Every structure is written in C-alpha cells, then in structure tokens.
Amino acid sequence: MKNDQWVIGLDYGTDSVRGVLVDAATGEELATAVFHYPRWRDQLFCDPALHQYRQHPLDYVEGLEAVVKQCLQQVGAEQAKHRVRGIAIDTTGSTPVAVDAQGRPLALLPGLENNPNAMFVLWKDHTAVKEAAEINAYARRQPVDYLQYVGGVYSSEWFWAKLLHTLRTDEQVRQHICSWVEHCDWMPFLLTGGRDVRTMKRSVCAAGHKALWAEVFGGLPPESFFAGLDPLLAGFRDRITGDVLTADQPAGRLCKEWAERLGLQDDVVVAVGAFDAHIGAVGGQIEPYFLSKVMGTSTCDILVAPMSDMQGKVIRGICGQVNGSVVPGMVGMEAGQSAFGDTYAWWRDVLLWPVRHLLPAMWGSDQPALQSLMEGMHGRLIATLSEEARRREETYPDRAVPLAVDWLNGRRTPYADQELKAAILGLDLGVDAVDVFRAWAEATCFGAKSIVECFTSQGVPVKGVIGLGGVARKSPYIMQLMADVLNMPLRIHRAEHTCASGAAMFAATAAGIYPTVEHAMQAMGQGFDQEYKPVPARVQKLQKRYQQFKELGNFVESFTHTHASDL
C-alpha cells in the first residue's frame, strides 16, 4: 500500500453535494467541501402542493466542479493532481431524467432549459402516484410476479412510474427523449466523456431496487410487460441498455475535458455509481444483520445478509432485495421512511410561520438584527424542543401526550403507499408545541420499529442498529428514544459525511487499491463514537404506545383510502 494514493467520494444529497478527499491508506479525510444547489435552494421548478420536486442538471454539474476544486485547493492542487487515483459518486434515488441519444439531460438542450419535466425527478417527487397504482394493479394480473424483488409494491418514487407520468404529461419531452436514466448512472457517464447513451454503465443498485431488474428474470421484464402497461412505454425497455454492474467496478477513466476542468489527470478511475444510502451503509461499516439507518430528510434503511442465508427468501413490503447492491457478494435489502428529518423541519416551519411573516412586516425585512434573530430561531428551535421534551419526560413521566402517525410524505415501508397522510390524536387545551414535537418524535421512531418488524416477521433477524447522517449525530434525544422504542442498541458512526466516505471506499476498490469493498471498509472506516442503549423502564411504556400507533395507523389507512378523493 502506497501512502500517496488519494480518492474522492462525492455524495449528491437532497439539498447539496458533499465531497471528501481521502487518504486511501488510512481513511483520513484530507479535505471536505459542500455545495448547496442554488436553483433547488430557491425551490425553482418545484410545487409542494402538487408533490412536484425537480432538480436542474446544472445544479449537479456546477456542484461537481466546485466541490472537487475546493477539496484539491485545501491540500494543494498540484500535489493532489498527482495523487488522486479514483472517484466514486452516490446520489439520491430514484432520481431519473429524460436524455437524448448522446445521454444529455433534456434540460441542457435549447428550448427545454426551464421545463421541469426535462429535469431530474427527485426521489421525493410523488406526481406519479396514479401511475404507480396502475403498475401495481397491472403487475398483479401477470403470470410472473415482477414485483417480488421490490417488496411486492411499486412506488411512485421509482423509475418506471416517473417515466410513465412524464411521457403522459409532456409532449415536448416525448418528442426529444431517447432514454431514461438515473442520476447515479449519469454522473459517471458524464465524467468519463460518454457520448452514446447505449454505452452507459448502469448500477445494479438502481436497476434492481427501482427499475424491476433482477437476475432471475434475465434483466428487466419483457417488452410485452411494458407495452401492455401503456403503449407509451413501448421500446423503452431496449433503450435502457448498458452493462449492469456493482459499484466496486470501474465505469471508465476521467475524460480529458473533465480532467482539465477539475485539475486532475485523465488516468483517474471513475467507479460505477449507486444510491446514497447503500453507499453510506458501507461508509458506516455495515455488518450482516445490523440495520443501517441513514437518517436525513427521510430515512433509507439498509440490511445485508450472506447469499447462502437468503436462498428461497423473498421479503415482502420492503424496497427491494438485490444481490450486490450494497456489498458485492451479499444480498442488499432496502427499506425506509418517506419523512424523518422532514417531519421535524415541517413542525419547526409551522411554529416559525409568524416569525417569518409578521416580524418582517412589522419591523422591516432588511434589518440585520431581525435577520439574525430569525436565523437563530430557525437553527435552535428543534434542539430546544428536544431538550424540553427530555426534561418533561424526566420530571413528569406520566404526562399524557398526543399520539401521531408519521406519514407526512406517505409511507415507504412497510408496503409503499404514497397516498397515505399523517395524523395526530389526543389534542386538548393542555397540549403545547413541545408535546406535539414529542408525538412526532415518537411517531418517527415507531415507524422505524415497523420496519424492523417487517424484517423479523419474515425470518430476517435484526441484531442492532447503526445510525448515520445528520439527525443521528445531532439529535441525542431522538436517538435515545429510538433505542428505547426498538429495544436494541444503537451505534452512531463517527464519520460526518458517511455517504461520501463510503463513496471514497468504492473509489479505492474500483481503482484497485483494495481487492474488495470489505478490505476498504476495514482500512478506511472511522469507527463509532456513541452508543445508545435501551432504558428498561421506558421500553415497556413505549411498547404499549407502539401498539396504539399501529391501531391509529390502521384507522388512518382505511380512512385515507375510503376518502382519497376528498383529501
């Protein structure tokens, strides 16, 4: 092992791209940088009322260049130029985009720059609920169960539902589209100078978990499946071409154009892409049967198991099981919650509504003191609510609080259903903002418990939980509550940018620095710095609350589907 081999990991999240420059020999982070997407920050091309969330490819391209250059400058650009051996990228998913024959996102073409349907359809976009329902109904009538490896239910957050919705709603896109590609597949294609979409390397992670690709089917379902679903999909199966590979494999080498733009050499290996949580689980040093929870705006829960243990097991209700989607050689299983940090952020924004709307009107929005006050309240409110909720639980352990169901953005697991709504029960005049916050905190932890039960009830054990992401590191109240609800230990990984660190491990493997991802994890992993253990006195009380949560959830689900047209 040479001590001058460096790698770059890039993590494209919902709000920003984060990059780390890492010494492959030790895992030491030599430099880090973050770029917040400017168009997304201004919520351009988004409409929350329609559940429409789109991101412009220029946000991604500008972020790529800015983050890599910042990392190199921190250590000395000339020194870094000769030491970087590999780059790997993870992204949110399913976040697909319409492209032309050259693999260019349509929003980069003249006349389509401001068309939201020509942009990346972010994972949290739920405009394709109707199409997902059609896919589910149609698939259940087929002689072959093509949904069995995605948990038995297809989601509006995924690849084919979003393509069908886009084709149905936008004639301009229909005229220009050649193929439909995931963000995690497009980035390596861009960096390696791809000019023909048919040569794009496809991630087994994205293809298996979101696009119905499975080894036992010989790839994607047949053309007749898609054409029978809707004639608009005819021919698209054959346009979703290219090798399907695990993320430890090279997608190619950095092309001369991007080598010059980034200040690197053109022999840098670019790894096949994958989704953020799957890569993050590796950065968090996942172990078989330990649930890796990447906790951010949503959660993505990852479990890996030896292939020999999964023979004949097909887990229903999750977001898929795919060989090699996390650790090559193991079965990767995905689940998650459609809103986690978003739940707390939503409640914060509700409470801050008068601050944002009344104070500027009363005092003038250009006063620096007012801006400082608003930013301070925004930054401290959740932490203050958490601390007061903790204090009340210790001081008044028998205080009654409302009961909530956490489906503010629908339900991802178990059994994806993006039409579902959240609910809260037990409000009275004695309830205040802290009580409601505690109800939402409990609900998100109860949602996590329902995921664990989805696995364990089908013969897949969960031995413990690994917490990753911003919420895991910054919210001790919620993490202790999670350990108590799950009644199992919860370890918090030390890495601040776990997904980017995981990407660096895959970059080191694809570049040949390590023979396997497991070797890279062992050498480059940063370990754990916190552990939350369940408090026995709280476990029993929370178990009773969890049973009530399930009863309320059953009612909400029934009510939602009965009155869907009125909601």
- What angle do the packed helices 341-351 and 368-395 form, to 10 degrees? 120
Which residue is associated with the tokens 């301009």?
Answer: 172
Is a pLDDT exceeding 70 seen at residue 128?
Answer: yes
Which residue is it, tokens 């999750």?
A: 318
CA distance 282 to 267: 25
The Cα 479–Cα 489 span in angstroms is 10
Residue 1 has pLDDT above 60, yes or no: no
Pairing mode, strands 290-295 and 299-306: antiparallel
State how beta strands 330-337 and 321-323 pair: antiparallel
Token pair of 71, please? 């990392």
Q: With 60 as the cut, is the pLDDT of residue 186 above it?
A: yes
Give the DSSP H/E element, type plus range, for residue 164: helix 159-169
pLDDT score recorded for residue 456: 97
Predicted pLDDT at 469: 82
| Chain centre to alpha carbon of residue 302 | 11
Percent of the chain with pLDDT over 90: 86
Residue 200 has φ and ψ, to the nearest 5°, of -65, 130
- CA gap 413, 415 in Å, rounded: 5
pLDDT band at 567 (very low <50, low <70, confident <90, very high): low
Q: What is the pLDDT of residues 304-319, one digit of tens each?
A: 999 999 998 999 999 9
Question: What DSSP string describes 220-272?
Answer: SPPHHHHHHH-GGGTTHHHHS-S-EE-TTSEEEE--HHHHHHHT--TT-EEEP
Coil, helix or strand at residue 400: coil
Q: What is the mean pLDDT of residues 29-50?
A: 95
Residue 565 pLDDT: 60
Average pLDDT, the chain: 94
Structure tokens at 555: 């009612």
pLDDT digits (tens, 9 = 90+) for 525-534: 999 999 999 9
Residue 249 confidence (pLDDT) above 70? yes
Residues 385 and 373: their CA atoms lie apart, in Å, by 17
Domains of the chain: 6-284+495-529 (3.30.420.40), 341-494+535-566 (3.30.420.40)
pLDDT band at 512 (very low <50, low <70, confident <90, very high): very high
The percentage of the chain sitting over the pLDDT mark of 70, rounded to a whole number, equals 98
Q: pLDDT tens digits for 208-220? A: 999 999 999 999 9
pTM of this structure: 0.90
52-94 pLDDT, tens digit per residue, is 999 999 999 999 999 999 999 999 999 899 999 999 999 999 9
| In contact, 401 and 440? CB cutoff 8 Å | no
Tell whether the model's pLDDT for residue 190 goes beyond 60: yes
Q: How confident is the model at residue 566 (pLDDT cuts 50, 70, 90)?
A: low
Q: Phi/psi at 279 (nearest 5 deg)?
A: -70, -40
Residue 344 confidence (pLDDT) = 95
Q: Above 80 in pLDDT, residue 2? A: no
Per-residue pLDDT, averaged over 467-482, amounts to 91
pLDDT in tens, 312-367: 899 999 999 999 999 999 999 999 999 999 999 999 999 999 888 888 877 776 67
The neighbouring-strand residues paired with 33 are: 19
Tell me if 167 sits within 8 A of 203, measured CB to CB.
no
Distance between CA atoms of residues 94 and 114, nearest Å: 21
Give me the mean pLDDT over the 125-129 stretch.
95
Among the listed residues 442, 535, 545, 546, the one whose alpha carbon sits nearest the alpha carbon of residue 484: 535
pLDDT band at residue 492 using 50, 70 and 90 as cut-offs: very high
- Least Cα distance to 150 among 241, 203, 211 occurs for 211
Partnered with residue 89 across adjacent β-strands are 10
Residue 96, preceding peptide bond in cis (omega within 30° of 0):
no
Q: Give the integer Cα–Cα distance in Å for 134 and 140.
A: 10
pLDDT at residue 3, as a whole number: 65
* pLDDT tens string 83-121: 999 999 999 999 999 999 999 999 999 999 999 999 999
Q: How many CA atoms lie within 13 A of 271 on its CB side?
A: 32
pLDDT in tens, 455-474: 999 999 999 999 998 888 88
